Amino acid sequence: MSGRVRRASERALARIESAFNAAFGNECNPVYHSGALTIYFFWIVLVSGIYVFIFFETSIFGAYASVERLTHDQWYLGGVMRSLHRYASDAAVITLLVHLGREFVKGRYRGARWFSWFTGVPLLWMVFPLGITGYWLVWDRLAQYIAIATSELLDRLPLFTEPMARNFLLPESLSDRFFTLMAFLHLLGIPIFLVFGIWFHLLRVSGPRVNPPRRLALGSLGALLLLSLLLPAESQGPADLTRVPQALGLDWFYLAIYPLYDLTSADFLWALLAGGSLLLALVPWLPPVKREPAAVVDLANCNGCGRCYADCPFGAVTLQPRTDGRRHPLQAVVDPDLCTACGICAGACPSATPFRSVAELVSGIDMPRLTVHRLREATAAALHRASGPLRVVVYGCAHGADLSALARPGVVTQTLPCIGNLPPSFIDYVLRRAGADGVLLTGCRLGDCYFRLGNEWVVRRLAGTREPHLRSTVDRRRLKVVWAAPVDSGRLVAALNEFLQQLARLEPQRDPVPPPARVAGEAAR
Ligand code: HEM
Ligand code: SF4
Ligand code: SF4
């Protein structure tokens, strides 16, 4: 995708997400939780499926009647469960496609993140066959259509010695053999692969969000129940091999390939599915990008406290036995293959405090591209150069609103890979030591951090509920936090103006602005 198309799609997506934020709040925005919602809908599918299975007759001659009995004689429970099973499956496809599209548009599959993308593709080959085999089991006219078309499609592959389609030529040729195979695939085979596939998909995501927030979960369940009661799932008349089914109602979420097959050919469809999947799987390398340098550990400054390990959203840090003989039992180790260069670990390290009286500030873990030392020097130097009645430092994230719109006398901007990269002690430092009147932090919208957890950790660090925390003595009136996506730059500018007015009303800071030598160099704490 060209840069311009990507930015346009990102903006369009951000606007859609804004609408959902307005309706549901950031915390319960279903778009933000599309991956977790997909898993949740599968849980509903599983529970309702178990109930349906209790009453289901696993034979080609009893299946249709057993589903009909369940739907009509027991509409208040069995019928609802059947409908829930169907609608939750459809909902899972919707959230799955939203999840896929969103990760794509936001570019969250590049570099070290290729793994989740790549392992997501086989999941598509499990989810859709799961739905298709489910429709097959009802053995109504829709199932008949699917069975015949599928067997024709499979006959194009060198899988079976006897053509599968022969089974559906005449009622006499029909056997339970296939039906049992489909039942096995639907009830056991594919679900087991799917569970394993989802586990594998999330292997490199640290603390993945696999459950939606409770309000969203209950709301979604309520909506599905309502739909099940208002529009119960029905069968489409018993299968009859002596007739070609006409005018079928199709579940487009799962069965769209069949009309496409009718319009084209088996060869075309297989080429499309195989080629499309291959292309999708290769997306992380199209075109190949140069990876940002990974975080680096400096053992002399690492005491093995484990904060970087706890905060890394991608499991790139491990704690391992000490190799340098120091008294601390553990040390941090970064796996560069897993590192996304978000810098959140550097923001977590207790040794990254700018108050340290060392000429070269080296922290236990740091980013080669923008070390905490360079950040401290750059901030201090820019503040020293800044003119204007008030001096404000804006720390922003490369994936949030563009900071260039904030340029004005007295305002110093510093873009970080993620706002979680900023050690909270920097706020204290620039206010008390570097002569700033205020600090504004900005990053991706809450619930939607480009690096998954950066803004959430910042909220907790500022609130004092996660280490390293911002000292309670820091004057909170001089700190403003604005969560803003690239489309929110107008809101960010307005927030800065409001902040400047607020700062102008405050009494001057007790500490005078330090002279340049003291700013650029070290100050004892
Ligand atoms: C059954 C289908 C799927 C389920 C249940 C699922 C679920 C999830 C969940 C729960 C997460 C973690 C979200 C978080 O905590 O940040 C995730 C991440 C992700 N998924 Fe999926 N997913 C599915 C299919 C796919 C597919 C088809 C793709 C793309 C081809 C995909 C691409 C990704 C990517 C790129 C991430 C992000 C990893 C990161 O932030 O680095 N997923 N998925
Ligand atoms: S946060 Fe810093 S000191 Fe603690 S384990 Fe990580 S690198 Fe070492
Ligand atoms: S920069 Fe740090 S927090 Fe981010 S992925 Fe790499 S090791 Fe993990």
Question: Would you state the pLDDT for residue 184?
Answer: 93
Is pLDDT of 511 > 70? no
Is pLDDT of 519 > 60? no
Among candidate residues 380, 375, 388, the one with its CA nearest the CA of residue 349: 375
Question: Would you state the pLDDT for residue 36?
Answer: 98
What's the whole-model pTM score? 0.93
Question: Would you state the pLDDT for residue 510?
Answer: 58
Residue nearest to atom 6 of ligand 2 (CA): 308
Pocket lining: 297 vs ligand 2, CB cutoff 6 Å: yes
DSSP 397-447: ETTSS-GGGG--TTEEEEEES-GGGS-THHHHHHHHTS--SEEEEEESPTT
Mean pLDDT value across the chain: 92
Q: Give percent of the chain above pLDDT 70.
A: 96
Ligand nearest to the CA of residue 312, numbered in listed order: 3
Burial of residue 113 (number of CB atoms within 10 Å: 0-12, 13-18, 19+): buried
The region that residue 222 occupies, defined by phi over 0 for left and psi between -120 and 50 for alpha, beta otherwise, is: alpha
The ligand 2 atom nearest the CA atom of 352: 2
Residue nearest to atom 25 of ligand 1 (CA): 120
Is pLDDT of 515 > 60? no
Name the one residue in this structure whose structure tokens are 């008294």. 327
Q: What tens digit of pLDDT does each residue of 354-382 get?
A: 998 888 999 999 999 999 999 999 999 99
Is pLDDT of 6 > 90? no
Pocket lining: 396 vs ligand 2, CB cutoff 6 Å: no
Least confident stretch, 22-31, 172-181, 379-388: 172-181
Residue nearest to atom 4 of ligand 2 (CA): 305
Name the one residue in this structure whose structure tokens are 């000292």. 471
Ligand nearest to the CA of residue 102, numbered in listed order: 1
Distance 98 CA to ligand 1 centre (A): 10
Distance 314 CA to ligand 3 centre (A): 7
CA atoms of 295 and 344, how far apart (whole Å) = 10
Distance 365 CA to ligand 2 centre (A): 6
Q: What is the mean pLDDT of residues 75-99?
A: 97
Question: Would you state the pLDDT for residue 4?
Answer: 86
Name the one residue in this structure whose structure tokens are 């069949």. 258
Is pLDDT of 512 > 80? no
Mutate to test the pocket of ligand 1, among 44, 119, 205 (most ligand atoms within 8 A of CB): 205
Is pLDDT of 463 > 50? yes
Distance 327 CA to ligand 2 centre (A): 14
Is pLDDT of 292 > 50? yes
SS3 label, residue 53: helix
Mutate to test the pocket of ligand 2, among 301, 302, 457, 469 (most ligand atoms within 8 A of CB): 302
Ligand nearest to the CA of residue 309, numbered in listed order: 2
Other C-beta atoms lying within 10 Å of the C-beta of residue 446: 18
* Radius of gyration of the chain, Cα coordinates, nearest whole angstrom: 29
Distance 286 CA to ligand 1 centre (A): 19
Residue nearest to atom 20 of ligand 1 (CA): 116
CB of 127 within 8 A of CB of 93? yes
Distance 420 CA to ligand 3 centre (A): 10
Q: What tens digit of pLDDT does each residue of 404-413 get?
A: 999 999 999 9
Q: What tens digit of pLDDT does each residue of 493-505 get?
A: 999 999 999 999 9
CA atoms of 224 and 416, how far apart (whole Å) = 42
Ligand nearest to the CA of residue 279, numbered in listed order: 1
The region that residue 480 occupies, defined by phi over 0 for left and psi between -120 and 50 for alpha, beta otherwise, is: beta
Question: Would you state the pLDDT for residue 172?
Answer: 67
Distance 469 CA to ligand 1 centre (A): 31
Question: Would you state the pLDDT for residue 24?
Answer: 95
Residue nearest to atom 24 of ligand 1 (CA): 120
Distance 118 CA to ligand 1 centre (A): 10
CA atoms of 13 and 105, how far apart (whole Å) = 8
Return the sign of the alpha-carbon dihedral for residues 460, 461, 464, 467: positive
Q: Give percent of the chain above pLDDT 90.
A: 82
CA atoms of 235 and 190, how far apart (whole Å) = 23
Residue nearest to atom 3 of ligand 2 (CA): 302
Q: What tens digit of pLDDT does each residue of 28-52 get?
A: 999 999 999 999 999 999 999 999 9
Ligand nearest to the CA of residue 204, numbered in listed order: 1
User: What domains can you pick out in the chain, each with its CATH number?
Assistant: 33-240+253-285 (1.20.810.10), 296-520 (no CATH)
Beta bridge partners of 411: 392
CB of 379 within 8 A of CB of 414? yes
Q: What tens digit of pLDDT does each residue of 204-238 get?
A: 999 999 999 999 999 999 999 999 999 999 998 88
CA atoms of 60 and 180, how far apart (whole Å) = 8
Distance 401 CA to ligand 1 centre (A): 25
Q: Which residue has the higher pLDDT, 507 or 280?
A: 280
Least confident stretch, 32-36, 171-175, 226-230, 440-444: 171-175
Distance 318 CA to ligand 1 centre (A): 23
Q: What are phi and psi of 145, to 5 degrees?
A: -60, -45
Residue nearest to atom 11 of ligand 1 (CA): 35
Question: Would you state the pLDDT for residue 266?
Answer: 96
Q: What is the mean pLDDT of residues 315-343?
A: 96
The ligand 2 atom nearest the CA atom of 306: 5
CA atoms of 289 and 343, how far apart (whole Å) = 19
Q: Which residue has the higher pLDDT, 376 or 242?
A: 376
Q: What are phi and psi of 237, to 5 degrees?
A: 80, 145
pLDDT band for position 514 (cuts 50, 70, 90): low
Distance 202 CA to ligand 1 centre (A): 7
Q: What is the mean pLDDT of residues 483-508?
A: 95
Residues enclosing ligand 3, CB less than 6 A? Answer: 294-295, 312, 314, 316-317, 334, 339-345
SS3 label, residue 170: coil
Is pLDDT of 244 > 70? yes
End-to-end CA distance of the chain: 50
CA atoms of 306 and 317, how far apart (whole Å) = 9
Q: Give the angle 430-451-122 at the CA atoms, nearest 5°.
A: 175
Question: Would you state the pLDDT for residue 106?
Answer: 94
Q: What is the mean pLDDT of residues 114-120?
A: 97
Polymer length in residues for the chain: 525
Residue nearest to atom 8 of ligand 2 (CA): 302
Question: Would you state the pLDDT for residue 163?
Answer: 73
Question: Would you state the pLDDT for residue 404?
Answer: 94
CB of 348 within 8 A of CB of 311? yes
Distance 492 CA to ligand 2 centre (A): 33
Pocket lining: 308 vs ligand 2, CB cutoff 6 Å: yes
Other C-beta atoms lying within 10 Å of the C-beta of residue 92: 23
Q: Say which amino acid occupies 246.
A: Q
Question: Would you state the pLDDT for residue 517?
Answer: 40
Burial of residue 229 (number of CB atoms within 10 Å: 0-12, 13-18, 19+): middle
CA atoms of 268 and 277, how far apart (whole Å) = 14
Distance 209 CA to ligand 3 centre (A): 18
Question: Would you state the pLDDT for residue 170?
Answer: 67
